[in-house]
Amino acid sequence: MPVTEISIPLLVIAGPTATGKTALAVALAGQLNGEVVSADSMLVYRGMDIGTAKPSMAERRGIPHHLIDVVDPDQDYNVALYQRQARDCIEDIHRRGKLPLLAGGTGLYIRAVIDHFTFTPAGVDPAFRRQMQELAVREGPSAVHRLLAAVDAGAAVRIHPNNLKRVIRALEVHHLTGRSMSAFRDRNEGKNDYRPVMFGLAMERAALYRRVEARVEEMLGAGLIEEVKGLLNRGYGPQLPAMQGLGYKEIAAFLRGECSREEAVELLKKNTRRFAKRQYTWFRADKRITWLDVEAYSGPAAMAQEINQRLAGVWPGASKK
């Protein structure tokens, strides 16, 4: 690394969807002279704003945000590319004398940045991807996941059937190399380019689910159906990984006449609740995370002040930035 190794302090804000990570990251960045690096696999897509809960310019409150609106919905994007771009952003922020904050709910993206994941050198096969995406549309994601289980049982256990993008990538690696994804993966716990301090946002499950359902209603009121319709009209088909994201696949099914509006909304709420539960399970396994109860604070500013005070003991002078 151009910047001296193990010299970069990195503040990580993680947790399930709808817990207020963005608002907290913005408050912290304001207090600590920081900039935010998004760790959300859906925020990279341009034109997909409502269904991804992409923070508006007003919500960013003048704080620079990185790795938002990086590619169009039909362009390939993966964790290896994210890893390189995020690390470049973090180095640049640190070099300019600011504190990098890595904030988001995509656990694999966060781990790829702060841990030493080496990704497969296998290329891509667009025709194979299309074949798998079309199979998922015809027979459902579980059909693709069964193919993965037949050739890479370890990856099939690690990757949820609904995470179609990762399922297809694992199949693609085997298709191109004849080897499993895990055979290429090298994680070295003994090295780290950063000094990460990690906080997770938690809340009682019933309260979180109420937030999730309220957010879905807010998205609908903000024009989610119109956003999905516009994407489909521009040629972004349901087979694209981006269009398999929460909110987009359910509303697209409604627009194709496969279900009623009410059924699509209920399915979206159910899928989002399940997604939040999976996120929480993922992050809970990382013992480096200090958990904060969102409901114990009056708002993001109070929570940011608490974190700020805790950081003073880890990074002397942090609260004075």
Q: Tens of pLDDT along the chain (321 residues)?
A: 444 444 799 999 999 999 999 999 999 999 999 999 999 999 999 999 999 999 999 999 999 999 999 999 999 899 989 999 999 999 999 999 999 999 999 999 999 999 977 776 667 888 999 999 999 999 999 999 999 999 999 899 989 999 998 999 999 988 888 888 767 654 444 455 799 999 999 999 999 999 999 999 999 999 999 999 999 999 999 999 999 999 999 999 999 999 999 999 999 999 999 999 999 999 999 999 999 999 999 999 999 999 999 998 777 555 544
Number of domains in the chain: 2
Which position has the token pair 């059924």?
263
The rounded distance, in Å, linking the Cα atoms of 72 and 160 is: 25
The rounded distance, in Å, linking the Cα atoms of 71 and 77 is: 8
Contact 124, 43 (CB under 8 A): no
The rounded distance, in Å, linking the Cα atoms of 278 and 22 is: 19
Q: Are residues 48 and 88 in the same domain?
A: yes
Q: Which amino acid is at 38?
A: S
* DSSP single-letter state for residue 15: -
Supply the CATH number for residue 158's domain.
1.10.20.140
Q: Are residues 109 and 76 in the same domain?
A: yes
Maximal CA-CA distance, the chain:
58
Count CB-CB contacts under 10 A for residue 285. Answer: 9
Domain span holding position 87: 8-119+187-320
Count CB-CB contacts under 10 A for residue 74. Answer: 15
What's the pTM?
A: 0.80
Which of 8, 64, 51, 62 has the alpha carbon at shortest distance from 242?
A: 51
Residues at the binding site are 15-22
The rounded distance, in Å, linking the Cα atoms of 146 and 144 is: 5
Q: Cα dist. 146→119, 153, 161 in Å?
A: 23, 10, 9
Residues at the binding site for ATP are 15-22
- The answer to whether residue 3 sits within a structural domain is no
The rounded distance, in Å, linking the Cα atoms of 168 and 16 is: 24
Q: Are residues 159 and 192 in the same domain?
A: no
Phi/psi for 201 (5° steps) reads -100, 125
Query: How, if at all, do strands 117-118 and 186-187 pair?
Result: antiparallel
Residues at the binding site for substrate are 17-22
